[in-house]
Chains A and B, each alone.
Chain A
Amino acid sequence: MAVRVDGSKCVYCAGCVSVCPFLALTLNEVKIIVDEKKCTECGTCVKACPAKALSLPKKISG
């Protein structure tokens, strides 16, 4: 599991890339690529994204 990108909201600003402590994100021209092996779901990028295009997967309880 890893952070999810809503491509229809993303404005390719690279803000998320800049704050990810685990270098898990890459902006390739017009697409954010998430390295699922590196993402720890820490949520930092979700808070930084000015377009609110990122979200964490909902935890399945129980």
Chain B
Amino acid sequence: MEEYDAVVVGAGPAGTTFAAEAASRGMSVVVIDKKKELGSPVRCGEGIGIDFSSGRKLELPRSCIASDIEGALMFSPNGKSIKLTTPQTKGHVLERKIFDKFLAMEAGRKGAHILPRTMATGLLKENGKIAGVKAVSFGEEIEFKAPLVVSAEGMEAKLAREAGIDALATLYDVDTCYEYEMVNVPCEPFIEIYFGSAAPRGYVWVFPKGKDVANVGIGVGGSSGADPKKCLDEWIARNPRMKKAEIIEVKAGIISVGAPVKKMVADNFMAVGTSAHQVDPVHGGGIALAMKAARIAAEVAAKAHSARDFSEKTLSAYETQWRAAESRKLEKRLLLRKVLEKLSDDDFNAVIGMIDSQDLEKLLSGDFKPIVTKVVAKRPSILKVATALLG
């Protein structure tokens, strides 16, 4: 048995960011991950906004960044596009295998203990209270005793569910995704998003990692019944630009596009990042949200540590602060997702045909009224699905 102030399950961006921040505040922390190589396999499009460190200083080594992105192109099914070059659409396509390892190194440098190939198998309880984690480390059963368990488990969230957090993903609120990293894909420094029935209830993305390398992926609604690999293969086959494209890596995964979990803490327990479904419901991005939540959580955990009080009441300061920062924005994004998923190909063609980049910018920032009014005036049939945005 090993004893720590906190045991963190999962060494993705949420877990390692938490560990670095908690360790630099004087806590003894262990991060365990079942992977033998942190960051691999990748289950991600690797796109991230330029403001991902939300103002904090985090100098990323250039090796973590595959490419710089100047904006976004949104395509309708008939091939029309709108270009966005707002600050929100600038960013990077990461090399997540290196990025995740870099964050783990930062945690290690701050004094956190890191243990790969170590899988949490259940919660350790004492007198009915959470008191650590049971695990299998390099084939040996082991117990990590700690007054605080942090679930940074990503979508699997099995420990979080055991702790009573409603982190079970339902089919309606997930996208199921298939992705290739490909070479011989001519690219500009813009992420590309393709809407419509090619990707039922989701979208196809092309995220450039270089001049001729890109992540080409698809997410389809979990309850759409669509086969994401088949849809992606068909989209690639139809696309003359992809004629010479060759697959370098296969990536896949499912991602929450619903609401965050209802409760993110319990006595002696916190859920951070995608484990708590802290993901953008429109595009399924969760790296930056996970890191931001982890910083808030670590700050609260350090206070709880000084007070020797890891009760749900004390830890809930994390949830309150997180919701104050993110809830409103994410609720609007969920509303928008639920409207987008009802649009037909004709609707997408019509909408993208009649709006400009300023309209789209407003729509994405949650200012729905002007664009709904504009679109409905020209295409009244959309009113029925779009009224939700006017509420």
Contact = CB atoms under 8 A, between A and B. Distances in A.
A44 interface: yes
A3 B303 CA distance: 45
Secondary structure at the B interface, as helix, strand, loop or mixed, is: mixed
A50 B174 contact: no
Interface stretch (B16-24, B155-163, B188-196, B370-378): B155-163
Contacts of B87: none
Interface string B40-60: 010100000000000000000
Interface in B163-207: 168-171, 174, 176-178
A23 B167 CA distance: 12
Given A12-B41, A29-B35, A50 B253 contact: yes
Contacts of A48: 171, 174, 176, 222, 254
B283 interface: no
A28 B171 CA distance: 23
Contacts of B161: 23
Contacts of A47: 171, 222-223, 225
Contact of B228 (A17, A26, A44, A50): A50
A21 B168 contact: yes
B229 interface: yes
A18 interface: yes
B250 interface: yes
B222 A18 contact: no
A39 interface: no
B29 interface: no
A19 B158 contact: no
B293 interface: no
A18 B156 contact: yes
Contacts of A51: 178, 229, 252
Nearest to A47: B171
A13 B253 contact: yes
Contacts of A44: 171
A19 B229 CA distance: 19
Contact of A50 (B169, B171, B252): B252
B155 A29 contact: no
Contacts of B228: 50
Given A23-B158, A28-B119, A18 B171 contact: no
Contacts of B43: 13-14
A13 B155 CA distance: 10
Contacts of A52: 227, 229
A15 B250 contact: no
Contact of B155 (A11, A12, A14): A14
Contacts of B176: 15, 48-50
Contacts of B229: 50-52
A27 interface: yes
Given A48-B171, A49-B176, A18 B227 contact: no
6 contacts: A15-B155, A15-B176, A15-B252, A26-B158, A28-B119, A51-B229
Given A13-B43, A17-B155, 19 more contacts: A11-B41, A11-B251, A12-B41, A15-B174, A18-B174, A19-B168, A21-B168, A23-B161, A23-B162, A27-B34, A27-B156, A28-B34, A28-B119, A44-B171, A49-B176, A50-B229, A50-B252, A51-B178, A51-B229
In the A-B complex, the 3 residue pairs with the closest CB atoms: A15-B254, A18-B155, A13-B252
Interface of B: 34-36, 41, 43, 117, 119, 154-158, 161-162, 168-171, 174, 176-178, 222-223, 225, 227-229, 250-254
